Structure 1
């Protein structure tokens, strides 16, 4: 019995697979469907990009409401309903004939991804792990990058062989099977469902007793009066701007400079590999070192990617783009749940997580609008890349002023 694998690691594997299909397919393979759908349905590139903005807005709104939703309804049931509706909405794209259909289906998928993705996964892992919480998050959230790699390769081949509509059907079947096994069977929200205690339970009991005895609960309204809390949110928003601005524009930036589609694809693949590995490494760094140092490393990685984009005419910069974008964007899924766990212990975990994830999503909304407007003026990404690079320096100063130098709760 002593050598039996702790079931929490089964949960981590299940979430890894759940995100590999639940995020890796509808989000990370989206770009390979853009051109085939445009050509088949006569959609414009502008219309397709509008869908990404709509998706970001829906994810921001649902992230903001997630704390309330999960406090009122059963978390597991919400995940199960989200899984079913996601499959239906994704499969329905096979039959769409107008851009309005696309916008509606993308919006439904975005809501399902929020309610059945990172948010509940973060809550579940937080319940199962006290020690090695960040490492568990890193391993589980690697699924998005690994899924993106696998299904981009699979999807590109399938679209050429059987068309984009049939590929949607194949992907729907994969999502359904994996979601059925993970969400409905393997995932347990609380260790007590398996007669277990969280990993590192003694540490949690000590912290919970301290919070019960010395730290009366507070509300999100009270914390929102804190300038430090808002500065932390602004820092996360800046990171969201840079993550979206970097990853979404790698291919068009390289194509503008004159690189081939093949080269752009290789850099994007390197970014996906870096993202998968980066989530694991960032989780380990959060566990072993201070959250301030781990976050500063994420900021510097994004800055490396941005500078690589700015000087992309030099081939060495392509490596900077691939490595910097992958490791830097790991921040988006790893940092918010860890901030929610470690910071402001008097405030409910889900309220903090909802705020942090919403600020990141707001950054994701601002970035394409800002970069698009600046591109129209100069017909170049240079000015927006300089602006975003400068914003990362501001974010780094925010981290120095708001994040603790160690991993103790404050």
Structure 2
């Protein structure tokens, strides 16, 4: 292998940035642009139409364990490339839909595409290619979803207004077929060794522990999922996953305070900016002080966000609270992938992370429904903020317990699986 420094790890990072940004930013984070035009055009109730996201979540949840096994057996270029084509097919199905059935089928296709499209593959690839600056790299790549969402939302809104919602979906399909698919097939590699290279930051003069290289040392998936550590970090993940859906209620909450729709929308934009900043911030903390510290800081700052939003009479608090709400995405997409590796090692990382991802993905699907029910019961948003604060305090405690209980796990070495 080549020992000299190569620029290719950074090419891989850019590749992952594009795939993550377009998969999440263009599709997942831009769903709201289609809901009203589609419901009005097809005469569907909005609450019924949004049920297609449930099919998306269930399909992703069900396919995740199989995806973890497939990724060990087939070339990542084939796995990710086919998944991105499936994203394109789902958008085409949406564009041809005349009722609920088409959206439910398209939603299921999107859900099947998610694990090998980006949920599992991106963290695994980045972990393999980077020894140093791993936190920063994860932060940069995960920030792509917010950056691309900020661009794609107004772009899609313009396309839908001028040409109709069907062409908005066709535009999405074209992007996947002509941009993300070629990037995945021609550039992506799972391991540096596939290009005859070493991971970025690899130092052969140091031992494996010092250089923190991607290794086959850790605990088995069977041991991991039955451990107290996994239970605690999963509870943390569930709470953060549910909390992530409050960003979709932020505009409604601020408007309920008597603020204008323009002001409320600007707070959502501030959250997107905070999304990018918080991912880079937590990534830097992870590199300098450790993943556990980044996790704790992220949860604490998220608690501060909800506390500030609670004291809504101070306008400055609304600004800062909205900005710090971006921390939820930083934890979800940037810190949790490296937390699982930090807690359980690399021996069966893909399998363990797939189980963790299944649970928190499912929790985020139902998060909006949970908040909606709380809102219906109490009639205002204040109880949702109080419950969120209490739940996040619990998340901080379970995160602390997860790292404390890690000491009881026995790391062993086997042949690497990813």
| TM superposition score normalised by structure 1 | 0.90
Tell me the alpha carbon deviations over residues 217-241 of structure 1, each in whole angstroms, 9 at most, x when there is no partner: 6432222332232112111111111
Structure 1 residue 311: Cα displacement = 3.7
1:204, 1:91 → 2: CA distance?
Answer: 52
Structure 1 residue 326: Cα displacement = 1.0
SS at match of 1:26: helix
> What is the aligned partner in structure 2 of residue 352 from structure 1?
352
1:85, 1:358 → 2: CA distance?
Answer: 20
Q: Is the 8 A contact 2:254 2:264 kept in 1?
A: yes
Q: Which runs of 5+ in 2 are unaligned?
A: 412-418
2:23, 2:112 → 1: CA distance?
Answer: 12
Q: Is the 8 A contact 1:304 1:320 kept in 2?
A: no
1:281, 1:396 → 2: CA distance?
Answer: 18
Q: After superposition, where does 1:1-400 map in structure 2 within 5 Å?
A: 6-202=7-203, 206-207=207-208, 218-244=219-245, 246-312=246-312, 314-345=314-345, 347-400=347-400
1:4, 1:292 → 2: CA distance?
Answer: 29
Structure 1 residue 7: Cα displacement = 0.3
Structure 1 residue 87: Cα displacement = 0.7
Tell me the alpha carbon deviations over residues 292-323 of structure 1, each in whole angstroms, 9 at most, x when there is no partner: 22111211222233234434454223313321
Tell me the alpha carbon deviations over residues 71-108 of structure 1, each in whole angstroms, 9 at most, x when there is no partner: 34333211111011111111221111101211210121
Structure 1 residue 208: Cα displacement = 7.5
Q: Is the 8 A contact 1:251 1:265 kept in 2?
A: yes
Structure 1 residue 388: Cα displacement = 1.6
Change in CA separation of 1:261 and 1:76 when aligned onto 2, cut-off 3 Å: same
Change in CA separation of 1:187 and 1:347 when aligned onto 2, cut-off 3 Å: closer
Structure 1 residue 204: Cα displacement = 10
Q: Is the 8 A contact 1:21 1:178 kept in 2?
A: no
Q: Is the 8 A contact 1:292 1:404 kept in 2?
A: no
Moved more, 161-170 or 300-309: 300-309
How many residues are aligned here?
406
Q: Is the 8 A contact 2:3 2:198 kept in 1?
A: no
Structure 1 residue 286: Cα displacement = 0.7
Q: Is the 8 A contact 1:250 1:309 kept in 2?
A: no
Structure 1 residue 349: Cα displacement = 1.2
Change in CA separation of 1:270 and 1:134 when aligned onto 2, cut-off 3 Å: same
Structure 1 residue 347: Cα displacement = 4.2
1:216, 1:141 → 2: CA distance?
Answer: 26
Change in CA separation of 1:275 and 1:63 when aligned onto 2, cut-off 3 Å: farther
1:248, 1:125 → 2: CA distance?
Answer: 29
Structure 1 residue 3: Cα displacement = 9.5
Structure 1 residue 205: Cα displacement = 7.7
1:330, 1:109 → 2: CA distance?
Answer: 23
